[in-house]
A and B are shown apart, each in its own frame.
Chain A
Amino acid sequence: NAGVTQTPKFQVLKTGQSMTLQCAQDMNHNSMYWYRQDPGMGLRLIYYSASEGTTDKGEVPNGYNVSRLNKREFSLRLESAAPSQTSVYFCASMIGSLFEQYFGPGTRLTVT
């Protein structure tokens, strides 16, 4: 039982490049989330998926897209990376009835 896994762990992009961050969970959770973490700002929600087949915007969705590929996988795509997207990205999943979130180890992204 690996919990929530994320790939890659680190990534450096040039401005304008695109990339996809991958997330998978093996806990059979319905809900999945993407957050970004910046110094002194806690975690801010980018997008979430309450269940397979649905996605919704969070607090800071601009510049990102997501895909809920199946119940296990939820990917985050940056179409044209900007320096403001330099951050640590966390994926999380949740048992809907208990509202307890489980986080992955994070992806540290630098955009130059």
Chain B
Amino acid sequence: GENVEQHPSTLSVQEGDSAVIKCTYSDSASNYFPWYKQELGKGPQLIIDIRSNVGEKKDQRIAVTLNKTAKHFSLHITETQPEDSAVYFCAASRKTSYDKVIFGPGTSLSVIP
């Protein structure tokens, strides 16, 4: 069936460095790719998303890139801060199907002060 792979599963960076999380998806009909941040004890929160007609999107220190041909998309966080420490989930979905939101297994990011 459809799945989303995510790497790495854990990532540790020094404060101020960049962090990159990569995902691949199998459903070629996917056209919406959100990223969620989950802090300890809380529910996931949408931080950025990208649609299939766009190759890159930025929001302050966060950027997402999409390569539809290779079925890859990535999250880039620059100038990391301790408050960026959390679990990050990528997901892929078809905007025509309410149930086809497939989540990756998550990446635990630790930013060391």
Contacts and interface: CB of A to CB of B under 8 A. Distances in A.
Given A43-B89, A50-B98, A58-B99, A99 B32 contact: yes
Interface in A80-110: 90, 92, 94, 96, 99-106
A90 B42 CA distance: 10
A30 B109 CA distance: 33
A103 B89 CA distance: 13
A106 B46 contact: no
B93 A90 contact: no
Contacts, number: 51
Contacts of B98: 31, 48, 50, 94, 96
Contacts of B32: 99
Given A45-B101, A50-B98, A56-B99, A100 B43 contact: no
A26 to B, nearest CB: 15
B43 A104 contact: yes
B105 A102 contact: no
Contacts of B93: 99
Residue of A42, A44, A90, A94 ringed by the most chain B CB atoms within 10 A:
A42
B105 A100 contact: no
Interface size class on chain A is: 20 to 34
A106 B43 contact: yes
A95 B106 CA distance: 24
B75 to A, nearest CB: 15
Contacts of B95: 99
Nearest to B43: A103
B42 A45 contact: no
Contacts of A50: 98
A41 B32 CA distance: 20
Interface of A: 4, 31, 40-45, 48, 50, 56, 58, 90, 92, 94, 96, 99-106
5 interchain residue pairs of minimum CB distance: A103-B43, A42-B103, A43-B103, A42-B105, A50-B98
